[in-house]
Amino acid sequence: MSAVTVIYALLFYIATAILVIGVARKIFIYARTPQPLKIPTTPAPTTRLGVAARMVREVTVFESLFKSNKWTWLFGWIFHLCLFVELTWHLRYFIEPSPFFLSWLQWFINFTGYGMVLGLLGLWGRRFLVDRVRYISNLSDHLMLALLVGIGASGLSMKFLFHTDIVSLKAFFLGLMSFSLQPLPADPALLVHLTLVATLMIIFPVSKLLHAPGVFFSPTRNQVDNSREKRWVAGWSAAIDNTKKAAG
């Protein structure tokens, strides 16, 4: 077994462990931390179902972002949509036989790589061109975009310039999942792509990428507006006992 294979196998085991444990830990913290008061941003749905619909709109069409800034919405939405299609498409490296629905994506996949990079460059451009966004950008925000652009560009390069042996690649990942190492094709473009992806997985739980799980826990978006109908208590507010005072 080549050194490259061993190193990347280890890298992906470590990256996966960090990603899964790190994000699970954060989700656990979000879930465990109480929200003592009702603070939905109103007008808000008055039923659970309505809140679910609000959340679906937020994560699929970015409703709030659409209200606030059409350019950021456009670039952000294109990027996320393309990323989502690409991630789904990549399932074919992990599942044998490839899931049947992947064939439906065949056509989109011609564009999604470009879409991703285009959306990212649009967002990045705003970090330079709009003085307000420039002001709030940290070095980490630029590096994050660089990382994602790198992932997209290296992915695209394999599609159109440096074809890699995807049959062996699939064997490598299937092998990883069953703990039996298979050789990884040592193509430079592939190695760059994989390194960047693993980096992204590793920094995910300690970065702003936590917005992905975070949005589902955001009280201003996930609370039902029914404070008069249903008494809400959690955390310090659960310690309030008014019945005693009323009697005494």
Closest CA to 217 of 21, 16, 35: 35
Q: Closer CB to other proteins, residue 101 or residue 231?
A: 231
CA distance 71 to 131: 15
Tokens of 10: 């280890």
Nearer to other proteins, 74 or 105 (CB): 74
Distance CA 199, CA 209 (A): 13
115/205 with CB nearer other proteins? 205
Contacts for 92 with CB less than 8 Å, ≥ 6 apart: 98, 99, 102, 170
Of 140 and 168, nearer to other proteins (C-beta) is 140
- DSSP-H helix ranges across the chain: 3-32, 48-61, 63-68, 70-89, 102-105, 109-129, 131-136, 139-160, 166-177, 188-203, 211-217, 219-222, 242-247
SS3 state at 146: helix
Min CB(118)–other proteins separation in Å = 17
Least Å distance between CB 85 and other proteins?
A: 20
What is the distance between the terminal CA atoms of the chain, rounded to a whole angstrom?
A: 78
Q: How far is the CB of 60 from other proteins (least distance, A)?
A: 12
Q: Minimum CB separation from other proteins for residue 243, in Å?
A: 8
In the bound state with other proteins, the residue whose beta carbon lies nearer, of 112 and 222, is 222
d(CA 198, CA 150): 12
Question: Rule CB under 8 A: which residues touch other proteins?
Answer: 26, 29-30, 33-39, 41-46, 50, 58, 62, 64-65, 67-69, 72, 76, 123, 126, 130-133, 135-141, 143, 206-208, 210-211, 214-215, 217-221, 225, 227-228, 230-233, 235-237, 240, 242, 245-246
Nearer to other proteins, 129 or 161 (CB): 129
Q: Whole-number minimum distance, CB 154 to other proteins, in Å?
A: 23
CB of 16 to other proteins, least distance (A): 18
